[in-house]
Amino acid sequence: MTSLNETHNPALKSWLASANAADCDFPIQNLPFAVFRRKGSTEAFRCGVAIGDQILDLAAVAKAGIFTGDTGKTVQAGAQDKLNALMALGQPAWSSLRLVLSRALREGAAEEATLQLCLLPQAQAEYDVPARIGDYTDFYTSVHHATNIGKQFRPDNPLLPNYKWVPIGYHGRASSIGVSGQQFRRPVGQTMPPGATEPTLGACKRLDIELELGIFIGSGNAQGEAVDITEAEDHVFGICLLNDWSARDIQGWEYQPLGPFLSKSFASTVSPWVVTLEALAPYRVAFTRPAEDPQPMAYLDSTGNRSGGAFDIQLQVGLQTPQMRAAGQSDASICRTSYRHAYWTVAQMVTHHTVNGCNLQPGDLFGSGTLSGPTLDQAGALIELTTGGKNPIALPNGEQRTWLEDGDSVVLRGWCEREGVTRIGFGECVGTVLPARLPKGA
Ligand code: CA
């Protein structure tokens, strides 16, 4: 588990003035990774590190040749078009790179003149999905979400008996994961309308969001070798924002007995920036279970996981309708919560995923599951916010929403803040719904 070190010192300032602004997502204490290129260009994508309103281009840093030895090799891995090579190097390499970059970006650093030439303004960049994602696993780690959803189907017994014992998950689809800015067509699928005797094929009528965090695996494990919970976090490269869009009506008809399928695989959107667990170290919080709940089984328990296995990451969902966009209004907040309310930690997800011998690989992505907090205004999906579509939410301009409509954009934001610690952020994760394209016969 990463602990505090000199890179977290709140007194550190960068020679780049924009990194020192109080509300900046990317101060020198953050240093998250993305893949990017100049907007509208045909340049190759390469890895970069966010600092203030700029991106430090790791391919340019590698070319400048100012770092040698192991650091030089790590920077070289960052010159590639995806983060996978850097992810595969493992936690000690990510940590050394963080320390070297922290020192080189500080006020008074000898590297300033060289690194100034390796910057690109974020406003002039476009991004790609940060990693080549081999496998995507979607968990279900919010007990509040599981309970809210369960209540709509089983009011007397909302939570299934396995929930408090086993981190629930399923294998999702990696090919349709896109980066912030993603626009996707409203999915088409089979639904069984209420009262009907036969299903129909048509555009989804209950299109929803899922406010999640994405957890990128760094170094993998060999097939057959489970990852012990005390080492689980060493396999995690970092965390991003994730909107795991859902077609609730398609899901309701198709999900039994094997679980979600086409209702989930049409699109998922990640933020470009991946914040490392080391950057998040000041925001660790104790992982606790209510006394009346079963305590985690021994393989899902450790002192470190209890004392600091959870993260207090602030989360917000904004919705911008076409009418708001036309009037020049920015998105309106429809949810505000924190990752600290999750029932299972990142370490527990990794350990449980591998307990059967399943091998994880660099670039694999976990979804946390919808991150709803204890109260309804902290719910991370419309199905909860509108109680299954019964109570539309009111937007500040007088519009209402039950489910997403064509042209709607959803903006996820994440950040960490606490007295005496430097605020860090995740940037944004934006996605927009385009009208469905109906096949023949629909
Ligand atoms: Ca999900």
What percent of the chain shows pLDDT beyond 90?
97
Residues with CB under 5 A from ligand 1 (ion): 138, 210, 244, 367
What's the CA-to-centroid distance between 79 and ligand 1, angstroms?
Answer: 32
Res 235 pLDDT > 80: yes
Residue 392's domain spans which residues?
136-434
Q: Which residues contact 174 (CB under 8 A, 6 or more apart)?
A: 133, 134, 135, 136, 365
Mean pLDDT of 396-411: 98
Position 375 in a domain: yes
Catalytic residue among 8, 144, 145, 353: 145
Q: What's the whole-model pTM score?
A: 0.98
What's the CA-to-centroid distance between 116 and ligand 1, angstroms?
Answer: 40
Position 441 in a domain: no
Question: How many CB atoms within 10 Å of residue 9?
Answer: 13
Cα distance between residue 132 and residue 331, in whole Å = 30
Is the same domain home to 258 and 382?
yes
Half-sphere exposure of 379 (CA within 13 A, CB side): 20
**Where do the H-state alpha helices sit in 13-162?**
58-64, 69-77, 84-88, 91-104, 112-116, 143-153
Position 55 in a domain: yes
Q: Give the model confidence (pLDDT) of 274-322 as tens digits.
A: 999 999 999 999 999 999 999 999 999 999 999 999 999 999 999 999 9
Return the residue matching tokens 């060289």: 114
What's the CA-to-centroid distance between 407 and ligand 1, angstroms?
Answer: 22
Element holding 310 (H helix, E strand): strand 310-311
**Of the listed ranges 25-29, 54-58, 227-231, 437-441, the one predicted with least confidence:** 437-441
Is-catalytic flag, 144?
no
Last-in-domain residue among 75, 101, 128:
128
| Percentages of the chain per state (helix, strand, coil), in multiples of 5 | 25, 25, 45
Res 5 pLDDT > 90: yes
Is the same domain home to 193 and 67?
no
> How far is Cα of residue 407 from the mean position of the Cα atoms in its chain?
23
Instruction: Quote the number of domains for the chain.
Output: 2
What's the CA-to-centroid distance between 208 and ligand 1, angstroms?
Answer: 11
Is the same domain home to 190 and 119?
no
What's the CA-to-centroid distance between 379 and ligand 1, angstroms?
Answer: 13
Is the same domain home to 212 and 343?
yes
Q: Provide DSSP, 239-267.
A: EEEEE--EEHHHHHHH-TTT--STTTSS-
Q: Give the model confidence (pLDDT) of 343-352 as tens digits.
A: 999 999 999 9
What's the CA-to-centroid distance between 225 and ligand 1, angstroms?
Answer: 27
